[in-house]
Amino acid sequence: MSTLYLDRPSPLNRLNPITKLVGVVSIIILVFALPYWWAPLAILILVVVPAALLARVGGRLLVVSGVLLVPLMIVIIVAQGFFNPRGETILFSLGSFNFSLEGLLFALAVGGRTVVLVTATMVLLFTTHPGKLLNALSKNGMPPKIAYVISSTLQIIPSFRTRADSILLAQRSRGLKTGGNPFRRFAVLIPLLSPLILGVFVDVDERSTAMEARAFGSTAKRTALEVLPDPLVEHIARWAVIIVALVALALSFIGALPQVSWPL
């Protein structure tokens, strides 16, 4: 099974998946609603990082998100710092290019939102078993066929990856280089594609009839074997959190949030 889930004993792991989902959604709403450039940073430091530490996934989060986010932040800071059209206050110059404060703050704001989006989602994924998440969503209206597609895909990806790796290994042992010009690198993919794609067509009938035999097409109201605990406390917390986020959004929309202009 190929998700980011880590089976660690932590309070976050024990929460109902819907609670965590609502939490992430609220964080995302907040981070986009608050018009302060430092809002994403604040939420990162005050909410996301403590949550990650509480869930004991801090180190993992740093590594996995860092790989994605560091190049991204560098690029956006450079791009917006030098080329943002609203740039007035010059901080420094490189040749004929001026790096502006407005650009930097914009980069921190927009890039920061991306960072919060990614890290909050990752904390959710690190602490939630996909099976439990899908069960919780199915209970709340997600079509069972979608749950089936997601869980089935997650479980067969490892075997596909293994098959692909062994094909690549066999190619490499036959002397095929994976470096070189783009065309040669593309050629590496070709012998990979047909055995993998054949997997789509082979046994379609057997698999679909096996699913039919398990009443997959049934229109009855489905029941569930596994029940997820959903304490009242979490119910209340969910509502509280989303209301806060929506109120912030509303206030921001009508311009009622206090103007904090620092450092501008």
Partner 1 sequence: MTDMIALAGVHYSYPDTETEVLRGIDLTVDAGQVVGVVGASGVGKTTLAKVISGFIPHSEGGELSGGVEVDGIQVPTSTLADVVSRVGLVTQNPFNQISGAKFTVREEIAFGLENLGVPRDEMIERVADVVELLGIEELVDRSPYALSGGQQQLVAIASMMVMAPRVLVMDEPTSQLDPSGSRLVFDIMESLASKGTAVIVFEHKLELLRETAEVLHVLADGVIAATGTPREVLSDARTDEWGVGATRFTRAARRAVEQGLLPKKTELPVSLPDAVEVFRR
Partner 2 sequence: MTDIDKPVDPNRTRNNIFIIAGTVVVVATYLYLIIAQPAAVGDGVASGGTPALITLAGYLLGAILIAFGAINRLPTTTVVLVPVAIAINIVVGQITSALGLPLYLDSIGTILVAVVAGPAAGAVTGGLSNVIWGLTLSPLALPFAIVAIVIGFVAGWAARIGVFRSYWAPPIAGIVTGIIAALASSPISAFIFGGATGGGTGAIVAAFQAFGNSLLASTTLQGLLSDPLDKLITFTVVMFILLALPTRFKQRFPFVRQYNVLPGMKKKATPAA
- Binding residues for partner 1, rule: CB under 8 A, are 1, 129-131, 144, 147-148, 151-152, 155-156, 158-159, 203, 205-218, 220-227
State which residue, 120 or 134, has the beta carbon closest to partner 1: 134
Least Å from the CB of residue 160 to partner 2:
4
Neighbours of 83 (CB within 10 A): 13
Least Å from the CB of residue 30 to partner 2:
10
Q: Which residues pair with 18 in a beta bridge?
A: none
DSSP string across 151-175: HHHHHHHHHHHHHHHHHHHHHHHTT
Least Å from the CB of residue 146 to partner 1:
11
Any contact of residue 192 with partner 2 (CB under 8 A)? yes
Any contact of residue 19 with partner 2 (CB under 8 A)? no
CA 12 to chain centre: 17
Binding at 6: pick from partner 1, partner 2, none (beta carbon under 5-8 Å per type): none
Least Å from the CB of residue 198 to partner 1:
15
* Joined tokens for residue 189: 């993919």
Binding at 226: pick from partner 2, partner 1, none (beta carbon under 5-8 Å per type): partner 1
Neighbours of 11 (CB within 10 A): 11
Q: What is the DSSP letter of 261?
A: -
Any contact of residue 235 with partner 2 (CB under 8 A)? no
CB 101 within 8 A of CB 264: yes
Q: Is 21 helix (H, G, I), strand (E, B) or coil?
A: helix
Selected from 15, 18, 44, 76, the binder of partner 2 by CB under 8 A is: 76
Any contact of residue 4 with partner 2 (CB under 8 A)? yes
Q: Which of residues 116-175 bind partner 2 (CB under 8 A)?
A: 117-118, 121-122, 125, 130, 142-143, 145-146, 148-150, 152-154, 156-157, 160-161, 164, 168
Give the separation between CA 23 and CA 27, rounded to whole angstroms: 6
Any contact of residue 264 with partner 2 (CB under 8 A)? yes
131, 137, 141, 144: CA torsion to nearest 10: -20
Binding at 242: pick from partner 2, partner 1, none (beta carbon under 5-8 Å per type): none
Least Å from the CB of residue 232 to partner 2:
28
CB 115 within 8 A of CB 73: yes
Least Å from the CB of residue 15 to partner 2:
18
Total residues contacting partner 2 (rule CB under 8 A)? 88
CB 178 within 8 A of CB 185: yes
Give the separation between CA 260 and CA 244, rounded to whole angstroms: 20
